Amino acid sequence: MATALVTGGTSGIGKAFATELAERGYDLVLVARDESRLAQIAVEMREQFGVAVETLRADLAVRNDLDPIIGRLTDPQRPIEVLVNNAGFGLNASLLDDDVAIQERAMAVMCTAVLILGGAAGRAMKARGQGVIVNVSSVSAWIVKGNYSAIKRWVLTYTQALALELEGTGVQAAAVCPGWVKTELHERAGVARPNLPGWAWVDASEVARCALDGAAAGKVITIPTRKWRAAVWFLEHSPKALSRAISSKITKSRRSDG
Ligand SMILES: NC(=O)c1ccc[n+]([C@@H]2O[C@H](COP(=O)([O-])OP(=O)(O)OC[C@H]3O[C@@H](n4cnc5c(N)ncnc54)[C@H](OP(=O)(O)O)[C@@H]3O)[C@@H](O)[C@H]2O)c1
């Protein structure tokens, strides 16, 4: 049976990826910090889908914690066919804050860890001539809203660059860019969920399904739901002053969301 490794696979979008992959018959390696929750989700996945589940406790902001994950991704005896770089969190902080510790953590978890794990998986998959790397970006990559937007834009550009480097190797790198998803992200960031129209909320399971289908179809960027694809098209084609005005309104109305 093929194996998939999901970072942040215990909650929200990551748990939806784990569920979708298990439904598709993949054994799982789940990575997160909370050991008891890892154990609980592992039991759920085994009982519900009959797949094998390993857990790796790691704080992706801590460089040494990445080593066992790199070791697992590059183990030639136990190949990982799918890596989902999903773990992350919302940022409830101003760029003018004196203390930038949370910004550094965010960049370590959502950029540095993605770079290091993506590179390790890419090398191992390239040597085998197959594999899929899915990185979770966001529609926030198309607006300008603090460091979170910058981070998600980095994920998008990095994934496009990785896909180019892997072209012709049999390995697919793909970014998924969801709109807003009801997960624990807002509560954990200490902000209320934004008051958005129903269409703006995307189901986590739809995000996972679209991302895996998009990657399998060779798409480098997948934006789940037709309405969000239209919104991104609008942001890309509207005058810069208009998208700047939208970004300014969102930045003033709230500080953190997906
Ligand atoms: N929710 C949205 O509206 C939305 C929209 C677009 C994109 N996204 C992106 O989707 C991804 C998942 O977010 P979510 O909304 O599903 O949030 P979530 O429900 O809070 O889940 C976050 C997951 O990441 C893990 N995680 C967080 N920090 C970690 C760290 N330092 N080391 C290891 N694991 C860590 C958490 O487990 P532990 O706490 O146990 O470590 C948890 O499993 C993020 O990259 C986010 O930016 C979210």
For ligand 1, whether the C-beta of 193 sits within 6 Å is no
Report the amino acid identity of residue 153.
R
Binding site membership of 183 for ligand 1 (Cβ less than 6 Å)? yes
pLDDT digits (tens, 9 = 90+) for 199-246: 999 999 999 999 999 999 999 999 999 999 999 999 999 888 887 888
By the 10 Å C-beta count (0-12 exposed, 13-18 middle, 19+ buried), 115 is classed as middle
Chain CA centroid to CA 113, Å: 11
Please work out whether the CB of residue 225 comes within 6 Å of at least one atom of ligand 1.
no
Q: Give one word for 51, left, alpha or beta, with left for phi > 0 and alpha for psi -120 to 50.
A: beta
Cα of 199 from ligand 1 centre, angstroms: 22
State the Cα–Cα distance between residues 24 and 71, nearest whole angstrom. Answer: 25
Q: Is the pLDDT of residue 16 over 70?
A: yes
Residue 1 has pLDDT above 90, yes or no: no
As its CATH architecture, domain 3-253 has 3-Layer(aba) Sandwich (3.40)
From the alpha carbon of 178, which atom of ligand 1 is closest? 6
Please identify which residue in the block is written with the tokens 């790199």.
Answer: 70
Q: How confident is the model at residue 133, as a pLDDT?
A: 99
140 CB-contact burial (10 Å; exposed 0-12 / middle 13-18 / buried 19+): buried
**Is the Cα torsion angle 21, 69, 176, 158 positive or negative in sign?**
negative
State the Cα–Cα distance between residues 51 and 42, nearest whole angstrom. 9
Burial status of residue 53 (CB atoms within 10 A of its CB: 0-12, 13-18, 19 or more): buried
Candidates 20, 35, 89, 139: which one to mutate for ligand 1, based on the most atoms within 8 Å of Cβ? 89
Q: Give 24-42 pLDDT, tens digit per residue.
A: 999 999 999 999 999 999 9
Task: List the chain domain ranges.
Answer: 3-253
Q: Is the pLDDT of residue 20 over 90?
A: yes
Given ligand 1 and candidates 11, 193, 196, 228, which is best to mutate, with the most ligand atoms within 8 Å of its CB? 11
Which residue's alpha carbon is at the smallest distance from atom 7 of ligand 1? 138
- Catalytic residue, chosen from 148, 154, 158, 228, is 148
Average pLDDT of the chain, as a whole number: 95
**Catalytic site includes residue 148:** yes
What is the pLDDT at residue 254? 59
Q: Are 14 and 55 in contact (CB under 8 A)?
A: no
List the one residue out of 84, 78, 71 whose CA is nearest residue 21: 84
Residue for token digits 């958005």?
196
d(CA 158, CA 167): 14
Question: Residue 179 gets which letter from DSSP?
Answer: -
- Output the pLDDT for position 226: 97
Ligand 1 pocket residue status of 188, Cβ below 6 Å: yes
Alpha-carbon span 136 to 176, nearest angstrom = 5
Q: How far is the CA of 7 from the centre of ligand 1 (A)?
A: 9
